[in-house]
Amino acid sequence: MRRTVGVLVMEHIAVGLVEADKVLGPLSIYPETMQSLDPLQSMPAESIADCIRKQVEKVADGEKIEAIGIGFPGIIHSGVVEDSPNFQQVKGFALQAALSSSLSGKAAGVPVRLFNDADVMAAGIAATQGTLHKLTRVWTLGNGVGFGRYPSSEGVWEGGHAVVTLDPKENFCGCGGRGHLEGILGRRAMRLRFLDLEPEEVFENAREGDARCSEFVMLCHRALAAATATSIHMEGPGMFFITGPDVKFIDIGLLDRLLHEMVKMSPLQGSRFEVIPTTDEMGIIGAAVNAERAAQR
């Protein structure tokens, strides 16, 4: 069986060996222990690449590897991170080439492919659910908001930066744009909006009846429903998966009702949401699947 290495970079770096859409053995994680602040956000681009290299070589030790796939936040094109609002130090960095040229041991010379992190999450969901023949769309909720699509297609697909409000005061998105979904539902944006509260406290206060927090929770759900409705009006109805560290904030029933207020044409109705538990394995499998398919072209 062909073996590939999958890498997922989000709040940390997770690397695993993949065979037949399953992770073999333990993952290699950096940093090994959870930290209150994301250590990658303050790390130079070259250091991030070196951390990935070390984890890949550790996982690939003694194995015959066919391909290496990396999921990374931001706009990815031809192996370059063209922009990444939550990792601004990586903007313009040729991560794919940097890793390819530095790998040694069993990983040396193995084809490396770089993808958007949400796209590899979509590929991982499709692979583990046996739906690689279907369109799969996923929202990833964390420090930012990602929109993943499988199969991958030409385009930018930065759905987290979909404009969901015309309010000029909505300027909390990390990219600097106004009215973006990520500027509402991203963890970084929530912290900027509520300087006195953590996101968990905002949603807890809403459950206890706090008016300010309750209004914001409704805004979050309307924003996600609006971005989803835009995707439906562009590509048609279907299943939308929601995953990521902050998926716990989402009320699927409320989100479904709001979506159906926004999508009224009968051929476009029938979409639904499903929450997928957040695991590094899902993204690692997706990165490996995309890399193996890219290597075969």
- 7-57 pLDDT per residue, tens: 999 889 999 999 999 999 999 999 887 765 678 888 999 999 999 999 999
Question: Is residue 169's pLDDT more than 90?
Answer: yes
How many residues are there in the chain? 297
- pLDDT bracket for residue 155 (50, 70, 90): confident
pLDDT over threshold 80, residue 83 = yes
Q: Specify whether 149 is located in the same domain as 75.
A: no
The total domain count for the chain is 2
**Pair 26, 148 in one domain:** no
**Can you give the residue range of the structural domain that contains 37?**
3-122+279-296
Question: Is residue 97 assigned to a domain?
Answer: yes
Integer Cα distance of 5 and 16 in angstroms: 6
CA neighbours within 13 Å on the CB side: how many for 284? 30
Q: Please indicate, yes or no, whether residues 111 and 215 belong to a single structural domain of this protein.
A: no
**Does residue 24 sit within a domain?**
yes
pLDDT digits 0-9 by tens, 236-248: 999 999 999 899 9
Instruction: List the CATH number of the domain containing 15.
Output: 3.30.420.40
Q: Tell me: do 151 and 108 sit in the same domain.
A: no
pLDDT in tens, 253-270: 999 999 999 999 999 999
Whether 165 and 70 map to the same domain: the answer is: no
> Which of 156, 155, 138 shows the shortest CA–CA distance to 147?
138
Compute the average pLDDT of residues 186-206: 96
Residues 184 and 284 in one domain: no
Cα radius of gyration (the chain) = 19
Is the pLDDT reported for residue 80 higher than 70?
A: yes
Give the separation between CA 244 and CA 293, rounded to whole angstroms.
25
- Mean of per-residue pLDDT scores for the chain: 93
pLDDT band at 235 (very low <50, low <70, confident <90, very high): very high
Q: Report yes or no on 127 lying in a domain.
A: no
Q: Which of 100, 102, 80, 99 is nearest to 91 (CA)?
A: 80
